[in-house]
Structure 1
Amino acid sequence: MMLLDLFAVIAAAVLSVRGAPALTQDPQAAERPTAGVFVATDLNWGGDTLWIPDASNGSCIVLPAPFYQGTSSFGPDKGIACSLWYHDDCDSRNPSFGPLRTPGVSTQADWSNATYNPNSIDNNGIAPNSWDKQVTAFNCWNVGEDGLHID
């Protein structure tokens, strides 16, 4: 019995250090109360991780450290789509990546095959194939099964 108690204490300590629930290879595997996004600092959902809830209302959300220009995996929950931004204001005149739907991006190939907004007035040195660890902010909205925006 004492060994089981020790295991529970160690498991709780490990999970609290990471700041997020344990992650499988599929960030969509966890049931969540509201639609949000899962971010990680390393490719393939590694490194520091964070789930950001209530992300589907269209608001521009600036990523906190260490995810601000440090995100290598980004996964919207089912039912939402997101645009990723190089500027904190999510302004359509600035470089954007997306829209993304589940499962999101988690490999170098995903980041290299960006849907890039070439109509931005200032690309700030961001080339279409270099979005890994460049994202500063994102905004998401609800979508139907067909991918179209719904309110």
Structure 2
Amino acid sequence: MSPVPPQKTPERDAADMAAVCRQYSWTPEVHDLYGDPESILRKMDAQNMELTERRIFVLLTESEGLAQVRFFEQVKGKEYAVSAWTGESLGGVGGALGDTILKNKAVNCVGEQVRGLLSTFAMDSPTTVSAPANARAAFAHTVRAHGEDTFTRATFALLC
């Protein structure tokens, strides 16, 4: 007779989420890719981002005169709330992202720390989407919005 798995409860889900958050807060990743949008997407495809293993991940894109932020947060099961902002410049937030992660030292939830950093951007109300099948499904539309042959920087922050 096989053992009966523990029943999921809100308390157990919260405890599991906290354990995963601690693990990923210790090992966040930030990838900066440069080039035209299609080159960035090809480089991105070579990365194993495992987005659905993360509760929070972020995309920052910037080219001359266009900047975008996409903040993804798992809200339940396989659904993510995506908040968005579009403007002319990120104003140095790409560098501040790395500083925020380094100063945090995995003491607090790195996703929540980055949320605080991005709070200066007036993001649209979140839209709920299904978990992305892969990074291209999550990010291609935003990266391509910069236009063909436009030199662009895309920053992928894989947080908690």
Q: Which has the higher strand share?
A: 2
Do both share a fold (TM > 0.5)?
no
Using the size of structure 1 for normalisation, the TM-score is: 0.29
The structure whose residues are more often helix, as a share, is: 2
Q: TM-score, normalised by structure 2?
A: 0.28
Specify which structure has the bigger relative contact order, considering alpha-carbon pairs within 8 angstroms and separated by 6 or more residues.
2
